[in-house]
Structure 1
Amino acid sequence: MCSELRSWPIFNSLEPKFVSQIHMVFVYGKLGNEALIVTKDKMVYGLGNDINGCLGIGNENVTLELKKVEALCGKDIKTFACGSGHVLALTKEGEVYSWGYYHRGRLRDGIIDDNDTFMLNTPTLVKHDIIDIACGSNHSVVLTKDYKIYMWGNNKYLQLGYFHSQHCFCKNEENCGRKSSLILEPTFKDTPILAFFKEMKVVYVSCGGTFTIVITENGDVYSCGYNCVGQLGRPSNNDLDNMLRQVDFFNDAVKIVCGFEHTLALTNGREIYAWGGNNNGQLGIGNKQCSSKPILVKYKLQRIKWIDIAALPCYNISVALSEEGRAYVWGDCCGQSILTPTATSFSNVHDAIAYYGPSVMHKPLVLYMNKEPSVLESLKAAFDESSTSDLKIQVEGQFIHVHKAILKIRSEYFKTMFQHDWIENNQNVIKHDQFSYVVYKAYLKYLYIDAIDLPLEMVSELLDLAETYCEKNLKQTCIQMIKQGITASNVEYFYGIAVKYTLEELQEFCIKFALNNHKLALLYADDFAKQVQNIIKPFITKACEVSNLVILSLKDNAHLK
């Protein structure tokens, strides 16, 4: 399985040969049980539950096998977007296709029937000249090449931005004060939205469950739709407040993402502001209070520089990527309410959402399996590669293939060695017998990849090598690895190692570990207690010696006075 797809269980059954041909994937559905796959030859496949026809493969309910989405095959797919029961696809040529379940009405001879439902189980062309798409639960938004927006779908909460009085669902239409209709097909004619943005360019669109947010060219933010918890970024007193209005706080937004009832904005200054619903802490402000006013998101009271944000229109999780390349999460994470940004071990947003979120994607994942390898990847592949090496090191009768230039650059030990005459005589084999083959190979590999590939129980021998070869960086890496691997059963052993090599930092760490984890004595009984005593005893002895010296010094000073 490709490492970029391991976080998504729906792909586990795919054959490796097919996986190697994948260009893009998009996982959606309530349980991440639906997926669209685009291959390098522009074939599009559906996989999983075909709920409401959302795979676009025709009349299928469930497909455990790959099925072609015939209407999209051969198209150069740019991105996908999905709502609670419908999907949009955008091609690089600017074509938008839609399919899925349309409820609360359909177009029939130009008249919307509120009591009817229908399903498009194959993609249907909607519009040309589009550069971006977004979906709410039951509405859609597209951005054209000339930076105008069109919206269609359910307009119950004015998520389409304006009152539309052409049709009304109320029995008493004359007395209806809410002239909003269900627009299930974009007319792409002049609308109040086009008139509103006549002199402005819209550059970014995003949808929440029942609301819409856009950014204009100058960084202004506008919102419309349901505003029950302030998700529009302003207080709401009546239905008119749900129409398209500016969020006054902003003039430098570069990206907006929406959850079900909350909004995140990334500014040009790489800050994040949040507003709206907060029942799971999705605003990241340290509590569960909703806010109709944008609030600055901080990490442990610090202002981190952010480079990306993500949310899902039907969920309450928030994700951000820091300038250092670490993903942070908050909100509804694995069923827990996380109230402030929390650092993860992931370096990309997709993996963070897959692990902490609902196992669906906020946007398609493009695989880069064809990209050129990085310098580190190339070095890793070159290690112990006989076809390119110019030097063999023999340890315990086994050869390790390396490159003289790399060893000379990375190690003072080898740099000094290569200054002797043997290098000029084209000597290409070195024999070593001071350390074991496994440890010496791990050392040489460290020079290539800057990481230790060795079991913890053998790191002490590698530390001995680092001392012998005066490898300071390797020594520190060994110490860090030991710290991470210390347990109640090995703390005494590694304390002995620390004493042997006069590693005061490691000695202190072992002592603190023993003291802070004294409760483990209940598990290890007398054995652990003896270990703690063996560690602390010399420490106390040393402390007493130091104390006596201090007392004597004080006495001498007092005597002199």
Structure 2
Amino acid sequence: MGPVPVLSLVRGPPAQRAARAADVMVDVTKWPLFSLMGPEALASVRRACVFGSSANEAIYITYDDERLLETTWTRMSPVLPPHAQVHVFGLNCSSCLGTGDSQSTIVPKKLDFLSGRKVTSLSYGSGPHVLLATADGELFSWGHNGYSQLGNGTTNQGVSPGLVSATLLNKKVVQVACGSHHSMALTDSGEVYAWGYNNCGQVGSGSTANQSTPRRVSICLQNKVAVGIVCSQTSSLAVVDNGEVYGWGYNGNGQLGLGNNGNQLTPCRLVGLQGLCVQQLVCGYAHCLALTDEGELFAWGANTYGQLGTGNKSNQLSPVQVLAERERVVEVAACHSTHTSAARTQSGQVFMWGQCRGQSLVLPHLTHFSCTDDVFACFASPSVMWRPLALEHDDFLTVAQSLKKEFDNPETADLKFCVDGKYIYVHKAVLKIRCEHFRSMFQSHWNEDMKEVIEVDQFSYPVYRSFLEFLYTDQVELPPEDAIGLLDLATSYCENRLKRLCQHIIKRGITVDNAFSLLAAAVRYDAEDLEEFCFKFCVNHLTEVTQTAAFWQVDGNLLKDFICRASRCGAFRN
């Protein structure tokens, strides 16, 4: 399992930084846990994070004061307005949900202890354990604590959020980061604190003894002002205000980027990035990605799955440039529970590489995604989030959504159809744009062009309404029996795509009782593919189909043709 190992140091005023962070919108239901929630509950989610060894835990934040929608930002970390509520659900391994017990829950529970607090930073480790910092600078921890990674001086599991106060009483924490079983905190004055598991020196204390409470990482950073911190599994890194990068801890795969593979018990500067100003730094399981203020991407560390994007699987002990031939990179992504990497360019192209759904991509692969978060939802194993998602909800509608909203709206319509005595309100321009039949109809020499109401008597109301709605939405929702009528309309109006959709609905809804009726319809409307499908279904269920009313009510010639065809297929052999 991993943390949310993101350090983003975008320069510029808060409003400008916030705008850059909201460049893309993310669908949180791409993570299976959130697909369990209904639309109303999803609409209230403002921040979300999926974590756990199998992406089986989730934490999300809502707020109920809609008057306070403006968001302030600190180092690209969203600060929630008052009345924030923290909710959790999932498997609850090692009590990482903080609900006071070890019981799993598929129904979200509210962490009352954190109600009303503004969350500025969130991270998680492999146990898993969770760190959460508030706008007031308070630091809370809960979950797995076998190595004192909760920083409370014990190794007792934290079943509820606890305040980490030792040595941090008068400090204001602005960012947190978790390794597998160690933790780090960054204060507003640029001081770095670390604690927990220290077998490789990842706490930066100069020894390999575990650290049960937060301890300042002072050696080599004493006179430096850190502006960001990140962790891989058993390594730690920090960026200082001049863009230099320092690393310490495990280095067996070169993940510290120092040019060797020896562990470091205290911070060491990455000389391979000398002269560069690092703007964003992220860590994977055992590799790192750095983005400079000029949009250059560098990678180093483990490369078993091609996660460095260099075209091979050889580890790199020093930073190497990636995507050099591409346009400026504006965001990089990695998560220390995965071996996956991603990047987004200035034009919005999203690349991924490394371990992606079991495959090893050794070179950056251009995806169809609009944000790096989708890479981890769809291709990472486990499909955790590489950072907490900021979900902004507004009233903006896409063109497709606007069209769908205006269908059958009498307030904006300029034409209505009367079918079976019922009206359907539409827009003449939309019909002309979407359908050749209406382009021909609405010409000056056609009577219909002058009418405000058009009577339709050859099709039923459900069928014709569904057809008109299809022109607005590209979607059809009808039972298979009504889809037969819509198939007739699609054939008459030469709407081939609609014809295919009807056939799909009929195939999906075929049963023993309606199979022969559907076969008859397919024959009548020359839908050869559908006819073959229905015929095979009838033959495979011959005994049951021949006992239905539909079988004996069909035209005699069709019945004869079916019997002859079924006989040739051997349906009546003893």
TM value normalised by structure 1: 0.65
Deviation at 1:28, TM superposition (A): 0.9
> Map of 1:380-395 to 2, 5 A cutoff?
380-392=403-415, 394=417
Aligned to 1:210: 234
Does the CA-based 8 Å contact 1:162-1:244 persist in structure 2?
A: no
Query: Which residue, 89, 92, 105 being the options, matches 1:63?
Result: 105
Aligned to 2:351, what secondary structure does the other structure show? strand
Say if 2:311 is the partner of 1:277.
no
| Contact map agreement 2:250 2:262 (CA 8 A) in 1 | no
Structure 1 match to 2:268: 244
Match runs of 1:427-442 below 5 Å: 441=468
What residue is the counterpart of 1:186 in the other structure? Answer: 214
- Distance change in 2, residues 1:347/1:394 (3 Å): same
Alpha-carbon shift at residue 320 of structure 1 (Å)? 1.9
- Partner of 2:144: helix, strand, or coil? strand
Tell me which of 310, 317, 328 is aligned to 1:292: 317
Alpha-carbon separation, structure 1, partners of 2:412 and 2:197: 65
Could you report, residue by residue, the CA deviation over 1:385-428 in whole angstroms, capped at 9, with x for unpaired residues?
414414116598997645589899999x999x9999xxxxx985
CA change 1:414–1:136 in 2 (3 A) is same
User: How far does residue 61 in structure 1 lie from its aligned partner after superposition?
Assistant: 3.6
Alpha-carbon distance between aligned partners in 1 of 2:193 and 2:178, rounded to the nearest angstrom: 12
Question: In structure 2, do the counterparts of structure 1 residues 107 and 222 end up closer, same or farther at CA, with 3 Å as the change threshold?
Answer: closer
Counterpart of 2:246 in structure 1: which amino acid?
Y
In the other structure, the counterpart of 1:39 is 62
Pairing 1:294-309 to 2, within 5 Å after superposition = 294-298=319-323, 302-309=325-332
Query: How far 1:463 sits from its partner (Å)?
Result: 12
The letter of the residue matching 1:32 is A
Query: May I ask how many residue pairs the two structures share in their alignment?
Result: 436
Shift of residue 152, structure 1, vs aligned partner? 2.1
Per-residue displacement from partner, 1:36-71 (whole Å, max 9, x unpaired)? 232324222221222222111112242333333232
2:249 equivalent to 1:228: no
1:131 aligned residue = 174
Counterpart of 1:87 in structure 2 is 130
- For residues 160-199 of structure 1, what are the alpha-carbon distances to aligned partners after superposition, in whole Å with 9 as ceiling and x for unaligned? 3341xxxxxxxxxxxxxxx3432221156x83365141xx
Matched-pair contact (CA < 8 Å) for 1:223–1:247: no
Gaps of at least 5 residues in structure 1 are 164-178, 421-425, 467-476, 479-492, 494-561
Find the aligned partners of 1:296 and 1:28 in 2 and give their Cα distance: 30
Q: Give the secondary-structure state (helix, strand or coil) at the position aligned to 1:351.
A: helix
Counterpart in 1 of 2:293? Answer: 268
Task: Please state if 1:27 is matched with 2:69.
Answer: no
Mapped partners of 2:297, 2:374: distance in 1: 20
Task: For 1:244, give the aligned amino acid.
Answer: C
- With over 3 angstroms needed to count, the CA separation of the structure-2 counterparts of 1:345 and 1:123, relative to structure 1, is same
1:51 aligns with 2:93: yes
Looking at structure 1, the residues matched to 416 and 394 of structure 2 have their Cα atoms a distance apart, in angstroms, of 33
Select 2:200's aligned residue among 150, 154, 157.
157
Other structure's SS at 1:39 match? strand
* Whole-Å separation in 2 of the counterparts to 1:356 and 1:141: 28
List gaps (5 residues or longer) in structure 2. 1-24, 65-83, 445-449, 458-462, 478-482, 499-525, 527-574
- Tell me, yes or no, if the aligned pair for 1:320 and 1:327 is still in contact at 8 Å: yes
How far 1:285 moved relative to its partner? Answer: 1.1
Alignment of 1:322-333 (within 5 A): 322-333=345-356
- Residues 157 and 242 of structure 1 are in contact (CA less than 8 Å); yes or no, is this contact kept in structure 2? no
Secondary structure in 2 matching 1:274: strand
Given residue 212 of structure 2, which amino acid in structure 1 is its aligned partner? L
The question of whether the paired residues in 1 share the 8 Å contact of 2:219 and 2:266 is answered with no
In 2 relative to 1, CA 461–266 (structure 1 residues): closer, same or farther, beyond 3 Å?
Answer: farther
Q: Match of 1:59, SS?
A: coil
Contact 1:213 1:223 in 2 (8 A): yes
How far residue 234 of structure 1 moved from its aligned partner, in angstroms, is 1.7
Find the residue that maps to 1:18 and give its secondary structure.
helix
Distance 2:434 2:107 in 1: 50
- Percent identical pairs in the alignment equals 32
User: Quick one: distance in 1 between partners of 2:433 and 2:53?
Assistant: 53
Q: Which amino acid aligns with 1:68?
A: K
Q: For residue 44 of structure 1, what is the amino acid of its counterpart? A: V
Mapped contact 2:149–2:195 kept (Cα < 8 A): no
Structure 1 residue 16, shift from structure 2 partner: 4.6
Aligned residue in 1 for 2:357: 334
Aligned to 2:117: 75
Given the superposition, is the C-alpha separation of residues 361 and 217 from structure 1 closer, same or farther in structure 2, using an over 3 Å criterion? Answer: same
Distance 1:286 1:453, change over 3 A: farther
Relative CO higher for 1 or 2, CA cutoff 8 Å, sep ≥ 6?
2
Shift of 1:5: 3.3
Q: Per-residue CA shift, 1:120-160, capped at 9, x if unaligned?
A: 22111225522222111122222222333222222332223
Q: Which letter maps to 1:371?
A: D
Instruction: Give a deviation string over 1:251-306, Cα, whole Å, max 9, x none.
Output: 232111101110011222323211100001111111100001222223xx841433
- SS across alignment from 1:103: coil
Question: Following the alignment from structure 2 to structure 1, what is the Cα–Cα distance between the partners of residues 455 and 261?
Answer: 83
Which of residues 275, 278, 283 in structure 2 aligns to 1:258? 283
Q: Tell me, in whole angstroms, the C-alpha distance in 1 between the residues paired with 2:231 and 2:88.
A: 24
Tell me how far apart the structure 2 counterparts of residues 444 and 48 of structure 1 sit (CA, whole Å): 41
What is the one-letter code of the residue matched to 1:100?
A: G
The 2-side partners of 1:440 and 1:377 are apart by 16
State the superposition RMSD in angstroms: 4.5
Once the two structures are TM-superposed, the CA of residue 437 in structure 1 deviates from its matched residue by: 6.6
Deviates more, 1:387-396 or 1:244-253: 387-396
Residue 152 of structure 1 aligns to which amino acid in structure 2? W
CA distance in 1, matches of 2:452, 2:268: 74
Deviation at 1:216, TM superposition (A): 2.5
Change (3 A) 1:130 1:117: closer
Match of 1:121 in 2: 159
In the TM superposition, what is the alpha-carbon distance from 1:465 to its structure 2 partner? Answer: 9.6
Q: 1:13 offset after TM fit, Å? A: 3.9
Of the candidates 351, 355, 358, which is equivalent to residue 374 of structure 2? 351
Q: Which secondary structure state, in structure 1, belongs to the residue aligned with residue 343 of structure 2? A: strand
Write the distance in 1 (CA, Å) between the matches of 2:454 and 2:294. Answer: 55
Secondary structure at the counterpart of residue 102 of structure 1: coil
* Whole-angstrom distance in 1 between the partners of 2:211 and 2:428: 70
